[in-house]
Chain A
Amino acid sequence: MRTYILKRVLLMLPTLLGISIVTFAIIHLAPGEPPAMRADVQGSLQQSEITSEQIDQWRKLNHLDKPVLVQYWLWVKRLVVLDFGRSFKDQQPVIKTIAKRLPISMTLMIPAIFLTYLIAIPVGVRSATHQYRFSDRVVTFTLFVLYSLPSFWVAHMLLTYVCGGEYLDLFPLAGMSSPSSPEMNWLQQFFDRVWHLVLPILCYTYASLAALSRYARAGMLEVLRQDYVRTARAKGLAERVVVMKHAFRNAVIPIVTIIAGLLPALLGGSVIIEQIFSIPGMGRLGFEAVQGRDFPVIMGITTIAATLTLVGILLSDILYSVVDPRISYGSEKS
């Protein structure tokens, strides 16, 4: 097992390198110059008019005058010590900015993933054991509708109808906490935070909920058709035992592995949800970086997101062997 994990971690490196090469090529071969650069030069010199020499100087400072291959080599060399360079926009180290923004996104995603699993698995299992009954039809249809519902539209409508305006005023319009939050005690702060995050978490949850419980239902149906379930029933076991002990344990295996795919999907979705709810997380950082062509930040986000995905895939493979003793990676030859 240990050698397997080590091998997988080593195999990640070429993949990561490939991802960084593609991203690097895309952003450096695209026409035009980064507007963030102009803004930065203006800001640091405290003047609105800047000369082309000053721009050239700035390009030199950020190695933008060198050939793309040399730039890439410089980038990789710094990456070894986890240095993603400095943002064009504010000259802050990229790794610091990401370290500040990633936890914010995570406070949204972890509860969302947790909630998704908490609701999706029972719903899917129940739907499968009651296949073709009225309740199953209702649940399946509802999930189908949720699955097709664009989350940015839902978020936008929530803002319209329950966040002030002419309709209901139940939730705050934007941000992570109230302006008065520093004066609150920790309990008030906690509830203030929850109050702000309910809607964004809801938006993340319903979308992945639909996908996951449909998956859970399909997996459960598959297992319920197996011979060993029929055997268990023939033995005269109670239906509850058949479902929970014999069927569910086997059906849950593929569901566990989806967690890996959920993470990058949530990161992608965060671009739009964080934008709508004005939450300063990774998604918003990415959006701003793309708008300002802040190359080091774009590179940093892509690399971190890809690493997270790779780790997610590895984790789910390991989880796979934990929940299913038939799968063992130790003796596998490949």
Chain B
Amino acid sequence: MAPKKADRARRTRRPRQTYWAIVWRQFRRQRLAVAALIFIAVLFFVAIFADFLASDRPIIMSYKGKLYVPAIKTVGSIRTLDYDKLREDIRTEGWAVWTPIGFGPAQYNLDEILQPPSTRHLLGTDDTGRDVLSRMLHGSRVSLTVGFVAVGIYVTIGIVLGSLAGYFRRWVDFSISRFIEITICFPTFFLILTLIALLPPSIYNIMVAIGITGWPGVARLVRGEFFKQREQEYVMAARGLGLGSGRIIFRNILPNAIAPVLVSATFGIAGAILAESSLSYLGFGVPAPTPSWGSLLASSKEFVDFAWWLVLFPGLAIFTTITAYNLAGEALRDAIDPRLRQ
């Protein structure tokens, strides 16, 4: 929430409707995009509450007169594998509220390997008998965090470099433009792959690798916007008032140049999710016990001739998520385009 003072300032500047209210009204007209937004919200919900949706532990339980909340805090005296036995015990010794899907993402069961979808395992099991649905729900965390953090990194780099180049011009612009040129000419995916392969495997390295290779697009966009805005009268007025460059860049010009960046960031999230799943698919993704959609798909490689559920469902998850972000990005782009305003 913005502080009250800024709120008041905004109200005096734009008496009727804020820019973003107009954008939101335009966005809302597109039903498919709103559906995509709802889908993204659901994904957020799933990612945050994955432990409450699919786990081998109960959400909350009373055992031998004591209350536990295993979904949040592991119970010291009860080992993870004992929960199966606990299921029997608990009927006589207390009560428990179980998660809707009663399998943990890492709970293997060698008696149930590569089972097709059934009422017990709704989306089947993988090669060590882990429940695919449970792994997919938990895998949404990886996609979501990689998408947002990686794009956050490169949008930040892009905004800073782009606005510096666009505002100061001359040698600042010259050197930053050369830097942009160099980064654009890199075979991006190959560079990310090289970085990931050379660094120790971790989700953070993936985010950083995608983050430091993705910024030139944003930088060019911001630079172009700054070129346009710089000559506007309000910038001259701000300079005349003696405001510092930093203040003019970030408080005065940037808010007017941010909309196209937001569009590019929305598409960027789709791209980052795709990159992460491709890396995981190649075996360079998030390290082993953490489930991710790409690595789930990769695990089907050896059973490709019959295990259709291992191929179909994780891919579908990646596909629908990317589609949702692309739809939202598309609608946002139309919404900020004044020529398409109705």
A147→B189 CA distance, assembly (Å): 18
Q: Is the CB of A153 within 8 A of B305?
A: no
CA distance A27 to B326 in the complex (A): 34
Q: A132: CB under 8 A from chain B? A: no
Interface 9-residue window, one of B4-12, B50-58, B232-240, B316-324: B316-324
CB < 8 Å neighbour of B297 from A153, A302, A306: A153
User: Is the pair A157, B182 in contact by a Cβ cutoff of 8 Å?
Assistant: no
Q: Which of A27, A156, A310 contacts B315 (CB 8 A)?
A: A156
Q: Chain A, 300-313, contact with B by CB distance < 8 Å: what is the 0/1 string?
A: 01100110011000
Do the beta carbons of A293 and B197 come within 8 Å of each other? yes
Tell yes or no: A139 within 8 A of B by CB. no
Stretch from B151-159, B220-228, B273-281 that touches the partner: B273-281
B197 close to A148 (CB less than 8 A): no
Number of interface residues of A (CB under 8 A): 45
Give the nearest-CB partner of A161 in chain B: B308
**Number of chain B residues whose Cβ lies closer than 8 Å to a Cβ of chain A:** 42
The answer to whether B311 has its CB under 8 Å from any CB of chain A is yes
- A116 shortest CB reach to chain B, Å: 19
State whether the Cβ of B256 lies closer than 8 Å to any Cβ in chain A.
no
Asked if A269 is at the interface of the complex by the 8 Å CB criterion, the answer is yes
Chain A min CB distance to B6 (Å):
37
Residues of A within 8 A of B181 (CB): 15
Q: Identify A150's interface contact among B195, B198, B312, B319, CB under 8 A.
A: B319
B24 interface hit (Cβ, 8 Å) = no
Contacts A15-B178, A166-B306 given; does A268 touch B185 at CB 8 Å: no
B182 near A15 with CB under 8 A, answer yes
- Shortest distance between the CB of B297 and any CB in chain A (Å): 7
- Taking CB atoms and an 8 Å cut-off, the chain B residues in 148-203 that contact chain A are 178-179, 181-182, 184-191, 193-195, 197-200
Choose among B189, B197, B304, B322 the residue that contacts A159 (Cβ–Cβ < 8 A): B304
Nearest Cβ distance between residue B199 and chain A, in whole angstroms?
6
Task: Report the nearest B residue to A149, measured CB to CB.
Answer: B319
Among A26, A149, A160, A305, find the residue whose CB has the most chain B CB atoms closer than 10 A: A160
Q: Do residues A150 and B304 form an inter-chain contact, with CB atoms below 8 A?
A: no
Tell me the bound Cα distance from A144 to B331 in angstroms: 12
Known: A26-B195, A165-B305, A271-B190. A157 touches B311 (CB 8 A): yes
- Nearest Cβ distance between residue A321 and chain B, in whole angstroms? 20
For the residues of B in contact with A, the DSSP-based class is helix
Given the contacts A14-B178, A156-B304, A156-B315, A268 and B190 also touching, CB distance less than 8 Å: yes
Q: Which residues of B contact A97 (CB under 8 A)?
A: none
Chain A residues near B197: list those with CB within 8 A.
290-291, 293
Q: What's the least CB distance linking B204 to chain A, in Å?
A: 15
Given known pairs A145-B323, A150-B319, the reply for A290 and B194 (CB within 8 Å) is yes
Name the contact of B182 in the complex, choosing from A18, A150, A275, A287 (C-beta under 8 A): A18
Contact assessment for B194 and A26 in the assembled complex, using a CB-CB cutoff below 8 Å: yes
The CA of A166 and the CA of B278, in the complex, are separated in Å by 26
User: Which B residues touch A149, using CB under 8 A?
Assistant: 319
Q: Find chain A residues with CB under 8 A from B269 CB.
A: none
Name the interface residues of B266-296: CB closer than 8 Å to any CB of A: 270, 274, 277-278, 281-282
A272, CB-defined interface residue at 8 Å? yes
Nearest chain A residue, comparing its CB with the CB of B304: A160
A170 on interface, CB distance cutoff 8 Å: no
Contact of B186 among A19, A152, A157, A291 (CB under 8 A): A19
Given contacts A164-B305, A268-B187, contact A19 B194 (CB under 8 A): no
**A-B pairs with beta carbons under 8 Å apart, 9 shown:** A31-B198, A148-B323, A156-B315, A164-B305, A165-B304, A165-B306, A264-B185, A293-B198, A302-B191
- Lowest 10 A-B CB distances belong to which pairs? A165-B305, A30-B198, A268-B189, A153-B315, A148-B323, A18-B182, A305-B187, A290-B197, A306-B185, A148-B322
Q: 18 other contacts beyond A23-B191, A144-B327, A275-B282, with CB at 8 A cut-off?
A: A15-B181, A22-B186, A27-B194, A27-B198, A144-B330, A145-B323, A148-B319, A153-B311, A156-B297, A156-B300, A157-B312, A159-B304, A160-B304, A165-B306, A267-B187, A286-B193, A287-B193, A290-B193
